[in-house]
Structure 1
């Protein structure tokens, strides 16, 4: 669900045809509004104003804000009320490393649990990634990448892991939104990493799948400037 941008500090109302619960829809819309900077750090949150802007009652907004506070994306301050949290580079880096570890665990579980249909589905996503890389279509690649990770998360069958990764991916998107980001020359590298992950899934090799996914996530964090490059190993003379 993309958050439609209006004026700074204001967000678009929810569409009536959405089928998710109001609380879930409000949570996703507010989370994306924070990621995209529509609701910037330090912005004071008014539960009543948000309910009016979203076109819903206060209860689902209250539920969404409670979840966002658990995620660390909003905070309640004395004499100020609820505001959008300031997430600095150091915190983004820490959360990125945590996500890399959890993505690795999820991929290891997926290697053990994915059925033939899921393997075929992720192979089809990989073909779309190949086409998007060749066309340098970053929008198509972003969409395929989200589906790639979401499929792996679902294959684990672990609700706690899926929820944890869902929250952490919001911070990943926040980091990418702030950073310069990948250049076209980085796209083939990402494609090769995704191919390696799919190969490990097809081999039903949990250890290899976990290692390749963790490497992929950490490398992407370095590329996007969220983490510093690892120190170069000195060559022995």
Structure 2
């Protein structure tokens, strides 16, 4: 099942970019399980693309630590190692507040409209009725929208990659997490601070969100 239309402008993307985003999110959401072999032909068939776009996508995903290639053995989805949590959190605790503050300063009218739509979805009253996978997709959407609103492609790229790795850890322990919906709902005040142009408040909420994520996972282990 494809989710190629989940990001703005996806209809204009190249086949390689579309393949990359689709495979990336399968890996992030653990639809391709950690340690599972990566079969280029099967992926191409499931995505309706040839091997060349898939190979281009896999090169990027190896750089992003989502897949690993072993000589004479093949390519596999990277294992989720809980010892990586501290390293990933260390980066995110510094950069997530920066991104939130810059988004509050730089968000365009289009960015604010997109974030406001996500805020409405969070406030819709049925967030707690969502399945875990739906909550994780919503969480990814919010993070990616905030990163895009920074209008700093280097910051955005770095945070997307680290958020993807954090989400894999989150997905691995989702059955043990006590308040997944509450974690996602925390984005509401953060979005309000960004849309309202309050960088200090946005940074404070982003830092608290990352710290809460690490704490929740450690409690679930």
Q: TM-score, normalised by structure 1?
A: 0.72
**Deviations 1:209-234 (CA, angstroms, capped at 9, x unpaired):** 212112112202322x1x459xxxxx
**Deviations 1:139-184 (CA, angstroms, capped at 9, x unpaired):** 5655544443233222111112222222222223211221135435
| Residue 167 (1) aligns with residue 161 (2) | yes
Q: Which runs of 4+ in 1 moved over 6 A?
A: none
Q: Any stretches of 5+ residues in structure 2 without a counterpart?
A: 4-9
Query: What CA distance in whole angstroms lies between the structure 1 residues aligned with 2:37 and 2:138?
Result: 34
Structure 1 or 2, whichever has the larger Rg, is 1
Structure 1, 157-166 or 34-43: larger mean CA deviation: 34-43
Q: Any stretches of 5+ residues in structure 1 without a counterpart?
A: 4-16, 230-237
Q: How many residues align?
A: 211
Change (3 A) 1:174 1:2: farther
The answer (yes or no) to whether the contact 1:114–1:155 under 8 Å persists in 2 is: yes
Which protein has greater RCO, CA pairs closer than 8 Å, 6+ apart? 2
The answer (yes or no) to whether the contact 2:106–2:150 under 8 Å persists in 1 is: yes
The residue aligned with 1:157 is 151
**Deviations 1:17-62 (CA, angstroms, capped at 9, x unpaired):** 9553211222222223323444333333343453344332221111
The residue aligned with 2:178 is 183
**Deviations 1:99-146 (CA, angstroms, capped at 9, x unpaired):** 34322211111121124554455344323312236x623356555444
Q: 1:44 aligns with which of 37, 41, 44?
A: 37
Change (3 A) 1:21 1:34: same
Q: CA deviation at 1:203?
A: 5.4
Change (3 A) 1:195 1:38: closer
The residue aligned with 1:235 is none
Q: 1:109 aligns with which of 97, 102, 105?
A: 102
Instruction: Please tell me the root mean square deviation across aligned C-alpha atoms, in Å.
Output: 3.1
Q: CA deviation at 1:82?
A: 2.2
**Deviations 1:72-117 (CA, angstroms, capped at 9, x unpaired):** 1112223213222222111144224423432221111112112455
The answer (yes or no) to whether the contact 1:200–1:206 under 8 Å persists in 2 is: yes
Q: 1:220 aligns with which of 213, 216, 221?
A: 213
Secondary structure of the 1:79 match is coil
